[in-house]
Amino acid sequence: MADSHATSTSASQTHVTPPELEQTLTLLTSHRSVLGYMLLSRGQPVTIIRHSGVVFEGEQGKKYASAIARIVQSVQTGLEEVSGGHNEGDDIRFMRIRTKRHEIMISPDERYLLAVLHDPATT
């Protein structure tokens, strides 16, 4: 059986992640309630730089990556529309989406999208 916290990297690109990001990813995988994380590129098409957790493997991981990128883009576009274009520099910092079973937390920055899938019922 595969380790649910095994880390994978994209074979198509090699990205060097900053030490503080490495520390954050290590900390995330140590929490029992974290089902997995995805570190995604901000480019088009979005690519999976790294992931942890079986939920983000294979085709399912690609679906999550695409959906996360669309969610971030849609929210950013909506914010620009409601601000009348006056939100220069007011980018999304953090999003939290909760369903009955899971919670997904998304933290976009200039280079990456970090998404964490969390089971809120696990303490």
pLDDT band at 123 (very low <50, low <70, confident <90, very high): low
Q: Is the pLDDT of residue 52 over 70?
A: yes
Rounded distance between C-alpha atoms, residue 39 and residue 7, angstroms:
11
Task: For residues 36 and 54, give the distance between their C-alpha atoms in angstroms, rounded to a whole number.
Answer: 7
Confidence (pLDDT) at 64: 95
Higher pLDDT, 28 or 71: 71
Confirm if 46 and 40 have CB atoms less than 8 A apart: yes
Residue 77: enclosing H or E segment and its boundaries?
Answer: helix 58-82
User: For 67, what's the count of Cα atoms within 13 Å in the CB-facing half-sphere?
Assistant: 12
Looking at residue 81, its pLDDT comes to 87
- Assess whether pLDDT exceeds 50 at residue 4: no
Dig out the tokens for 21 from the structure: 């990001």
Residue 49 has pLDDT above 80, yes or no: yes
pLDDT greater than 50 at residue 42: yes
Which pLDDT belongs to residue 7?
40
How many Cβ atoms are within 10 Å of 67's Cβ, its own excluded?
Answer: 13
**Tokens 């493997």 found at:** 57
- Tell me the average pLDDT of the chain: 83
